[in-house]
Structure 1
Amino acid sequence: MVACGLDFGTSNTTLGLNHPGGPRLCRLEGTHETVPSAIFFGADGSSCIGRAAISAYIEGTEGRLMRALKSVLGSALLEETTRIGRDRAPFREVIARFIAAVKARAEEQADGEITAVVHGRPVHFVDGDAEGDRAAENALREIAHGIGFRDILFQYEPIAAALDYEQQIAGEEIALIADIGGGTSDFSIVRISPERRNLADRSSDILANDGVRIGGTDFDRLLSLATLMPLLGYGTPMKRAGLDVPSSYFHDLASWHSINRLYEPKVLREIREVRREAQAPERLERLMQVIEERRGHALAGVVEAAKIDLAAGPQTRIPLEWMEPGLALGITQPELASITALLADRIAARIDMLLKDAGLRRSDVDALFLTGGSTRLAHVREAIVQAVGEGRVVEGDTFGSVGVGLTIEAKRHFGP
């Protein structure tokens, strides 16, 4: 039996295998251990994943790009179909094709079939809906079976990150694990030590688990709606008093998994009608251009890039000359923090609830282990650190900790 740990993420995916020297993430795309969770379907029937998928889209290859595939789990979209060329395919099939491609690349490095998997999952696929949460996990299990995994287990992503962190400590600690990913923010408080990491049953070491369906794509969406979408007509008035341009187009355009809805022929017809009755028709013309040229994912990409820039510097600029000569959008770090402050506050509030569930005070936490791309945002990081107090802050592998921990779990359950 060959077993793996699979972190199918909203933004990026990793897969790890156990070797004599320990767990190791596979190189899933060239020299990269991460592969963006994206798939491109060419008009000629071909498909590709990851960076190649994004490049095909950016270079103007005729076809369709889909990103943030994991966001479909736990939503009504999972049971729907989506247009691919002249046909329609279930979203389940799209997810299956992506994960199957990842599995095949890992099997090339494993020199054989991978039959067992420890699949990562957020603490909650769906907030406040236990039945929806079970349905999302069952769907992922069915997809895994369908692509050839015979033995399938699930582990919470923050627990997996804790297993990775446990490999580097010298004594017993109570650690709070914060995994702020592309689609969810997940937390665990875990008792860890060099001696405990060899135990078969770690259930008593998990002191509390919690999570919320807020992640990096939500920061992207709010940033886009507040800064970019008004240039396309969002929030502008109609000629009829008391009415604004319908907002649904802009919410779809600002959400990775909904962008392709706008490419249905009827949508463009609707927007043409709206433009005639809008007080700022020139802005709706920009929206029409985005849809006609199928630049929705490109817009979402530049907003995501702007957010990443603002995690490292005080300001950034989004060039929009392709839309209109001289058009550009400047955004500052304080603007990002202001626009997304409620998201950061909701993430931090979960930590207070987690400590109460565990019956602990802030001072009981020895270490705060941070992983996931959104922990790079200064105001998110500050909110989490303040919620924990004086615990030591430890930086995990931003995109690899969960995958490594799932691989450790795979060895524990299935052997080398």
Structure 2
Amino acid sequence: MFIGFDYGTSNCSVASMVNGVPTLLALENGQHYLPSTLAAPTRDSVSEHLFRFSNIQPSDATGQQLLRRAMAANREEGIELHAEDLLFGQAALDLYLAHPQDLYYVKSPKSFLGAMGLHQVQLSFFEDLVCAMMANIKQRAEMETQQPIDDAVIGRPINFQGSGGESSNQQAEQILRRAATRAGFKRIEFQFEPVAAGLEYEASLTSEQTVLVVDIGGGTTDCSLLRMGPNWRGKRDRSDSLLAHSGQRVGGNDLDIHLAFNQLMPHFGAGSLLESGLEMPMKQLWNPVAINDLSAQNDFYGQRNLAELKLLHKEAQQPEKLARLLAVYHDTLGYGIVRRAEEAKIALSASPTYHSQMAVDKETLAFDINFDEMQQALDTPKQQISKLVREAVSQSGEQPDVIFMTGGSARSPILRQAVAEVLPNVPLVSGNDFGSVTAGLARWADVVFA
């Protein structure tokens, strides 16, 4: 059996073909979308759990070295792992929100796969993270279908997040392929996520069109300009139909991060002053919410940063705000702050104001955000997305007949307006914002594995 597998930055989903129609499979409590999260007692628990309870061997000598280190570290800490200690999806998120300081939690490891300058052991650990998540999803899908699943078409962005250009793309795809192989998939193909979304839209067409697909995912925005229609449907060689691609690290996570920084981090010291009159260093307020930037997270939560945070607290004109920032450090609250921003972004798409609360140390902070404040906070990612649309059209030298917007953030009225302003005379249509990519991947799997 084959599936289309959207290993997403925010959510994961899979689909199979049933009577010629893509059907998303339930993965958690009847839901089709599993949050891309993992929680474990410690960082070292991931590799040992994969080996001990999933019987998945390391792929090379570096992986074996990582496993030995992990098992030794867990023994030294007196940690005895159990099968239920590794959590995924909403269960992992719920545990993190309840006990952020007591576990290892990661969201969106896909965001890190293209990072340059990493040691082989770090790359091997990312492979273990992805493998654990993929093996878990494969198991859930097989329970749902009551069939073994051997083959998968996995979605990938035009450009993974990373500074290495094509080197970042190759590194990330290699990690995904190795992880998927270890998770038990036998035949693995990749397809660009916006192309997959376009394939799902194409299934509804009765005539030929030139379609600009704008896929605003959790980690990236990708644009593909495609010739589509009945004459192309089902063809394996579509090279002549692919007119242009553009993609960049700007997605739903970036919207949440910018909103968190602009509207929430002032409660933690952003924009405040030191006794010297200098403004608080921006990186100390940006790094904790930059959850898609591995170096930023390491810099903020590293042991060496604690002394600097204590010094800033001592020299701050508003020390109570820096006390909250210290609580963010000690209790690993960065993900929780971004989560509040994400909730605000979703709510403000339908309501002019949003109110939320968050427990920080021994106080409860109240946050109030309105639509205009969100619009101002999201100006930078909005401009980046507009630039990607222009780039795709410019590359092809052709105007699209229609714009197909999809992805979790495609519902945002701010982003829809941004795209419409670039191509004001082109109709803008939508499909299943969360499921179009997955369905298109299943359609492509039906072509390549038939």
| 2:246 paired with 1:247 | no
CA distance in 1, matches of 2:301, 2:121: 14
| 1:68 is the counterpart of 2:108 | yes
Distance in 2, matches of 1:49 and 1:160, equals 25
Q: Post-superposition shift, 1:301?
A: 0.9
Instruction: Please name the residue that 1:343 is paired with.
Output: 381
The residue number in structure 1 matching 2:39 is: 40
1:300 pairs with one of 324, 329, 338: 338
Q: Letter of the 1:368 partner, please give it.
A: I
- When residues 275 and 325 of structure 1 are mapped into structure 2, their CA distance, relative to the original with a 3 A threshold, is closer
Question: 1:302 offset after TM fit, Å?
Answer: 0.8
CA-CA distance at 1:246 after TM superposition:
3.4
TM-score, normalised relative to structure 2: 0.84
Q: Once structures 1 and 2 are overlaid, which stretch shifts more, 165-174 or 31-40?
A: 165-174
What is the letter of the counterpart of residue 40 of structure 1? A
Matched, 1:284 2:284: no
Task: Give the Cα–Cα distance (whole angstroms) in 1 for the partners of residues 121 and 280 of structure 2.
Answer: 28
Distance in 2 (CA, whole Å) between partners of 1:35 and 1:327 is 29
Distance 1:234 1:359, change over 3 A: same
- The 8 Å contact of residues 79 and 91 in structure 1, kept in 2 or not, is answered as no
Q: Distance in 2 between matches of 1:77 and 1:302?
A: 32
Matching residue of 2:17 = 18
The 10-residue stretch of structure 1 (36-45 or 10-19) with the greater mean CA deviation from structure 2: 36-45
- 2:216/2:251 contact within 8 Å kept: yes
Contiguous gaps of at least 5 residues in structure 2: 43-79
Q: Which of residues 330, 334, 338 in structure 1 aligns to 2:372?
A: 334
Which runs of structure 2 are paired with 1:196-211 in the superposition (5 Å)?
Answer: 196-211=232-247
Q: 1:223: how far off? A: 1.2
How far apart are residue 235 of structure 1 and its match?
3.3
Residue-by-residue CA offset, 1:64-86 (whole Å, 9 max, x unaligned): 2211221111114865778xxxx
2: CA distance, partners of 1:54 / 1:347: 29
In 2, are the aligned partners of 1:78 and 1:92 still within 8 Å (CA)? no
Asked if the contact 2:9/2:218 (under 8 Å) is kept, the reply is: yes
Match of 2:444?
409
1:150-165 equivalence runs, <5 A: 150-165=186-201
What is the identity, as a one-letter code, of the residue corresponding to 1:289?
Answer: A
Which sections of structure 1, spanning at least 5 residues, go unmatched?
83-87
Separation of aligned partners in 2, 1:281 and 1:324? 15
Aligned to 2:398, the other structure's residue is in SS state: coil
Deviations 1:307-329 (A, max 9, x none): 11112221212324656767422
3-state DSSP of counterpart to 1:313: coil
Cα distance in 1 for residues equivalent to 2:277 and 2:98:
43
Q: Does 1:31 align with 2:30?
A: yes
| Corresponding residue of 1:215 | 251
- Give the C-alpha shift of residue 101 in structure 1: 0.8
**C-alpha distance in 1 between matches for 2:260 and 2:423:** 30
- The separation in 2 between residues aligned to 1:289 and 1:352, in whole angstroms, is 43
Farther-moved stretch of structure 1 (245-254 vs 323-332): 323-332
Cα distance in structure 2, aligned partners of 1:145 and 1:302:
36
Distance in 2, matches of 1:89 and 1:253, equals: 25
Q: Is the 8 A contact 1:72 1:78 kept in 2?
A: no
Change (3 A) 1:140 1:269: same
The residue type equivalent to 2:284 in the other structure is: Y
Evaluate the alpha carbon distance shift between residue 241 and residue 330 of structure 1 in structure 2; reply closer, same or farther with a 3 A threshold: closer
Cα pair distance change 1:263/1:357, threshold 3 Å: closer
- Tell me: CA distance 1:81–1:239, structure 2 relative to 1, closer, same or farther (3 Å): farther
Q: Please identify, of 389-398 and 264-273, the stretch whose mean Cα deviation from structure 2 is larger.
A: 264-273
Counterpart code for 1:318: S
Contact 2:5 2:152 in 1 (8 A): yes
- The yes-or-no answer on 1:113 pairing with 2:148 is yes
Q: CA deviation at 1:107?
A: 1.8
* SS of residue paired to 2:176: helix
Give the paired residue count: 405
The 2-side partners of 1:337 and 1:327 are apart by: 23
Q: Is the 8 A contact 2:156 2:192 kept in 1?
A: yes
What is the correspondence of 1:333-412 to structure 2 with a 5 Å cutoff? 333-361=371-399, 365-412=400-447
Q: Does the Cα contact within 8 Å between 2:289 and 2:335 map onto a contact in 1?
A: no
- How far apart are 1:147 and its partner, in Å? 1.7
Q: Which residue of 2 aligns with 1:85?
A: none
Output the CA distance in 1 between the equivalents of 2:265 and 2:8.
26
Kept in 2: contact 1:77–1:91 (CA 8 A): no
Query: Separation in 2 of the partners of 1:191 and 1:164?
Result: 13
Is the Cα–Cα contact under 8 Å of residues 80 and 91 in structure 1 kept in the other structure? no
Q: 2:206 aligns with which of 159, 166, 170?
A: 170
Deviations 1:173-204 (A, max 9, x none): 11111100111000111111123212221121
Moved more, 16-25 or 224-233: 16-25
- What is the rounded CA distance, in whole Å, between the counterparts of 1:291 and 1:153 in structure 2? 40
2:13·2:33 contact (CA, 8 Å) conserved in 1? Answer: yes
Hey, what's the Cα distance between the residues in 2 that align with 1:293 and 1:128? Answer: 33
Q: Which residue of 2 aligns with 1:129?
A: 165
Q: Is the 8 A contact 2:3 2:15 kept in 1?
A: yes
Q: What amino acid maps onto 2:112 in structure 1?
A: V
Change (3 A) 1:54 1:321: closer
Deviation at 1:338, TM superposition (A): 1.4
Partner of 2:70: none
The answer as to 2:100 corresponding to 1:49 is no
Structure 1 counterpart of 2:139, from 92, 104, 116: 104
Q: What does residue 312 of structure 2 align with?
A: 274
* Aligned equivalents of 1:37, 1:78: Cα separation in 2: 22
What corresponds to 1:186 in structure 2? 222
What letter matches 2:331 in structure 1?
E
Percent identity of the aligned residues? 32
Shift of 1:128: 7.0
RMSD value, Cα: 2.4
Deviation digits for residues 219-249 of structure 1, max 9, x if unmatched?
111111112112111232323454x433333
For the residues of structure 1 that align with 2:117 and 2:342, how far apart are their CA atoms? 23
